[in-house]
């Protein structure tokens, strides 16, 4: 049965949350018709572009220089002992090397341990622009999403990018206790946490010691479009 517009938006939001929450993925590339899959770490830009920090020595980077088409899959937690009950999403798109300090910082905000080698000459930031996706919400629950439906509203992305620095500075300076309570409620063990990224679907919280534990992703209950929406969602998370 075909989904209506509202249901498609809900499925797209679920797919975005999976992509933004995952800290590792499987990247599929192709060379001379031969598929190849590799473990990668990724981050998502505000507009949901997939960001990868790849070495020129890797097989998949060599493939992408010859063939831009690629796919990336992430998976959530299985509901039962059957791994196929886990939600997962596969994104297909075109990869390109980018030299963008803001996008590089976005990647490092989620993967701070990569900072020591991020500036090496043989490492490049690669952006995979989603053209479409397949969300499998569990066993026999598959929905195909065009890129125009999958990706967040452009106006919301622009508004929150403009407000992101102020939101982060304000939260870290004036609400550090709230951020710690939210992170600890989600399983974080550190005493102090800070916000390192925020977008229309959620925010990322990092411990003061970036090597002590992973950066946590906190998803909103629904997409937001401005700073006021972010504030409401943080209040909700703090009270949870």
pLDDT tens by residue, 130-180: 999 999 987 668 999 999 999 999 999 999 999 999 999 999 999 999 999
Say if residue 116's pLDDT is above 70.
Answer: yes
Residue whose tokens read 């800290």: 23
Could you confirm whether domain 154-238 is CATH 3.20.180.10?
A: yes
The per-residue b/e assignment along 29-49, b for 16 or more CB within 10 angstroms, e otherwise, is bbeeeeeeeeebbbbbbbbbb
Say if residue 3's pLDDT is above 90.
Answer: no
- 72 three-class SS: strand
Banded pLDDT at 18 (limits 50, 70, 90) = very high
Fold held by 5-150: Pnp Oxidase; Chain A (2.30.110)
Give the tens place of pLDDT for each residue, 176-216: 999 999 999 999 999 999 999 999 999 999 999 989 999 99
CATH 3.20.180.10 residue window(s) in the chain: 154-238
CB-CB contact of 103 with 35 (8 Å): no
CB-CB contact of 38 with 27 (8 Å): yes
CATH 2.30.110.10 residue window(s) in the chain: 5-150
- How would you class 216 by CB atoms within 10 Å of its CB: exposed for 0-12, middle for 13-18, buried for 19 or more? buried
Banded pLDDT at 1 (limits 50, 70, 90) = very low
How many helices (DSSP H) and strands (DSSP E) are in the chain?
Answer: 8, 11
Query: Per the structure block, which two tokens stand in for 10?
Result: 């809900």
- How would you class 102 by CB atoms within 10 Å of its CB: exposed for 0-12, middle for 13-18, buried for 19 or more? exposed
pLDDT for residue 117: 95
């Amino acid at each position: 049965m075909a989904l209506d517009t509202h249901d498609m938006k809900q499925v797209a939001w679920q797919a975005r949350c999976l992509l933004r929450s995952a800290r590792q993925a499987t990247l599929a590339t192709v060379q001379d018709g031969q598929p190849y899959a590799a473990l990668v770490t990724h981050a998502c830009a505000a507009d949901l572009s997939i960001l990868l920090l790849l070495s020129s020595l890797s097989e998949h980077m060599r493939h992408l220089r010859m063939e831009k088409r690629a796919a990336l899959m992430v998976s959530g937690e299985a509901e039962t002992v059957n791994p196929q009950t886990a939600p997962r999403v596969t994104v297909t798109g075109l990869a390109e090397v980018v030299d963008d300090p803001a996008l590089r910082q976005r990647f490092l905000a989620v993967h701070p341990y990569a900072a020591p080698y991020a500036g090496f000459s043989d490492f490049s930031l690669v952006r995979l622009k989603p053209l479409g996706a397949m969300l499998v919400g569990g066993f026999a629950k598959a929905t195909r999403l065009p890129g125009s439906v999958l990706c967040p509203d452009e106006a919301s992305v622009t508004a929150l990018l403009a407000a992101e620095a102020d939101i982060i500075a304000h939260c870290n300076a004036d609400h550090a206790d709230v951020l710690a309570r939210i992170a600890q409620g989600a399983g974080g063990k550190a005493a102090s946490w800070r916000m390192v990224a925020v977008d229309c679907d959620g925010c990322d919280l990092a411990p003061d010691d970036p090597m002590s534990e992973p950066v946590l992703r906190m998803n909103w209950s629904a997409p937001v479009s401005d700073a006021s929406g972010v504030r409401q969602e943080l209040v909700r998370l703090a009270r949870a």
